[in-house]
A and B are shown apart, each in its own frame.
Chain A
Amino acid sequence: MSKKIPEFGPSTSRKRPRNEEPEPQSENGVVNSHSLSLEEDFAFSDTLMALRMMRAQFPHIQKVSVPPFVLQSQLYSSIKNRTEVDREIESLKREKVVRIFKLNTGQDDHAIMFIDDYISQIERVVKRMEENSKTDLVVFEWFKTHVVQSKLDTSIGHQELWSFLSLGGKVKEEHISQLISAGLLIRQLIDQNMYWFSIPNIGSVLKGLSQGRKELMSLLSRRKYKEMLMAALEVKRLRFSPLDMRFHLRDLIGSGQLKTIETPSGLIVRVAKD
């Protein structure tokens, strides 16, 4: 089960090679709570391992409480066979382990988040809304129990949303606007009756994501040969993004805009020419 992965540097704080550990040990305490039974310990997959690892390595951002998510392009950078990644994500989605969200930064960006993190984020948002205003927040309960569990896609239509929420109680227009203002749903630009599912409080992080991408690409494009040693790149800090360099590197390598080349002096990151 050992696949070749790009090494991001010799230092020990980076990811360890995957073929060392066949079981998710406690690099992250969260993992232990997932592997409940012995069967689960053996029924892992490369994608799930990579997801857990990247989730554990999600940078901590002050001032904004955002649960860790993994971009789909980051998974492509670690696992060679992209088709396998796609299929495993699909089966994880069907098993309700993770949830996929479409992001509005660029084409076809998807964020993958564990369902437990998502639910806890919803609860955090609900708690904050409770402190601020006294309005009825029962719609969030309906959302959690009916919509999140049944609708596994990235978008939902207005009629369907209404019907799912009605399973909890009588739905009014204000409930839908509460959901939108909390950041759980976003109206689609093309079609007024369709909504994207979204992660609450993620706006500033997404802005940082697109700015960080641009900054990293321009950093490399300005250089004479449009390349830089990975070791030198890692220690740089991005000015416009709260997310760390490793996050952006994985994302851009996975989406094909950067490529890594093995050289005798280490890995080199170069801007990919079409």
Chain B
Amino acid sequence: MWKETREREFGNLRPNLFSSRIFKSRISSIQLSNSKEIVSSHRGSVNSLQVDLTEGRYLLAGASDATVAVYDVQRATDHDGRGRISKHKSLFLINKQHEHGHKYAISSAIWYPIDTGLFVTGSYDHHINVWDTNTTQVVMNFKMPGKVYRNAMSSIARSHMLIAAGTEDVQVRLCDIASGAFAHTLSGHRDGVMSLEWSTSSEWVLVTGGCDGAIRFWDIRRAGCFRVLDQSHSQLGRRPPLLACAATNKQKSSSHQSSAKARPPQRKSTNGNTVKSHGVARVPSQMKSAKQRSHPGMISSHDRATAHYGVVTGLKVTEDGMYLLSAGSDSRLRLWDIESGCNTLVNFETARLQSSKAIQMAVSQDSALSFVPCMTTVKVFDIWSGQTKCAFRGHYENVNCCWYNAQDQELYTGGNDRQILVWSPPKSISTEDDESKNGEAATSDQDNWSD
């Protein structure tokens, strides 16, 4: 570390490289924090965690007993253990007694992406509430047709303020905060939608994962989804550079001859269209007559491709917007290349993933490591090789959600055991400074029970 600082001083090491090396070394030493503790005020399993995107300071947690709490992760509320462990209690707590609070479990709680003045919670009581943080009052309420599984707002949105809500119902609804009404609905899934995420590269693209096992990409400005991920369409690893693309395309298209009508005419598949058209010349006329009546946006609803053999329980788009990590109730994690829509066939060694509830995964900033809750542990996977780097064991019951705070390289996990645990790189011991600050230098030598 000091050698690297010296290198940076001399100019041998670029600043970006220096900082990424420090991040990497800190991430690789993450363990259960011995200096920070979050005192959970929930009486039900913690379902959703999010740190605000603007300051990286406030952690919002939603739990099954309809409580929502916000914790300050940078400033402790009090200290314990002779000043070495900082305890963070909730800044405020909203529970069922609140006049407009939720009645049933809260499945997801997210901050308004622009600032921490608002947050949005979705619950199994079919409501989505928008709360004002400072007054803890509900400012807007949306009623959904079914249990709300997840809601999301785009963090890069500049022209819309839409909350995307995935419910038990087959349609994904977009709620507009500005007008207080529903903007539109996205149909195409054949069962409820358990997970959804906005794309990190475009403010108009939404990714949803359904209970039918399909993952769909929607452009909210158009009708219908523009891509359905199919687990049998795979590419071997990263996409090859452009020139080599043509060769792999021919191979890919000769091996799958599914109806091209259901897939939008992308540049790549037109290459293969000429190859297969002579073989199936009789097909297009039959299919066209059957499909003539449907709206171009609804053609995608006929596409039955599945991304998982079960429910898609978790989705996470990497920060560079290129890859999508998806978890399914078939206990598989898949990494998809968003641009080509192919499965990259990275095998993550998961023995089991919980299948009844949605899980929230996290990816490190440089997209090299992913944190996935697997039953009672949180496993850290190397994204490209699929190897398990380590497993964090600390919760007594299943872990539901995790959030990686890139500023401090800390991981917060919440589980069915009502606890929120903090995992961080070990803090360097500077006990002398702390103790003299607190005026407890003398007590370190004293026992509590001896005279």
Chain A positions within 8 Å of B, measured between CB atoms, are 76, 81-83, 85-87, 90-91, 93-94, 107-108, 150-154, 157, 159-160, 163, 166-167, 191, 194, 255-257, 272, 274
B108 within 8 A of A: no
B237 within 8 A of A: yes
Q: Report chain A residues within 8 Å CB of B346.
A: 83, 86
Assembly CA distance A256 to B349 (angstroms) = 8
Q: What 1/0 mask marks residues of chain B from 278 to 291 whose CB sits below 8 Å from any chain A CB?
A: 01101100110000
Say whether B345 contacts A274, CB under 8 Å.
no
Contact of B330 among A76, A85, A107, A272 (CB under 8 A): A107
- Chain B, range 377-394, C-beta contacts under 8 Å to A: 377, 385-386
Given A167-B279, A191-B304, decide whether A86 and B385 contact each other with a Cβ distance below 8 A: no
Q: Report chain A residues within 8 Å CB of B280.
A: 163
Question: Which range holds the interface residue count of chain B?
Answer: 35 or more
Say whether A153 contacts B310, CB under 8 Å.
no
Residue picked from B237, B251, B258, B287, most chain A C-beta under 10 Å: B258
Q: Which residue of A lies closest to B213 (CB)?
A: A190
A/B interface sample: 13 pairs, CB < 8 A:
A86-B346, A87-B236, A87-B237, A93-B255, A107-B331, A108-B330, A108-B331, A108-B332, A151-B257, A152-B255, A157-B304, A159-B286, A160-B259
Given A108-B331, A159-B287, decide whether A272 and B351 contact each other with a Cβ distance below 8 A: yes
Q: Report chain B residues within 8 Å CB of A81.
A: 385
Q: Report chain B residues within 8 Å CB of A157.
A: 258-259, 304
B256 within 8 A of A: yes
Contact of B283 among A87, A163, A255, A256 (CB under 8 A): A163
Given A83-B347, A153-B232, decide whether A274 and B376 contact each other with a Cβ distance below 8 A: yes
Say whether A150 contacts B347, CB under 8 Å.
no
B43 within 8 A of A: no
Instruction: List 12 extra interface pairs beyond A274-B352, A274-B377, CB under 8 A.
Output: A76-B347, A82-B386, A83-B345, A85-B347, A150-B257, A153-B256, A157-B304, A159-B283, A159-B286, A160-B259, A163-B286, A272-B351
B185 within 8 A of A: no
Q: Report chain B residues within 8 Å CB of A94.
A: 251, 255
Assembly CA distance A153 to B220 (angstroms) = 32
Say whether A83 contacts B234, CB under 8 Å.
no
Q: Report chain B residues within 8 Å CB of A272.
A: 351
B162 within 8 A of A: no
Assembly CA distance A85 to B345 (angstroms) = 9
Q: Which residue of B lies closest to A81 (CB)?
A: B385
Say whether A160 contacts B257, CB under 8 Å.
yes
Q: What 1/0 mask marks residues of chain B from 314 to 351 whose CB sits below 8 Å from any chain A CB?
A: 00000000000000001110000000000001110111
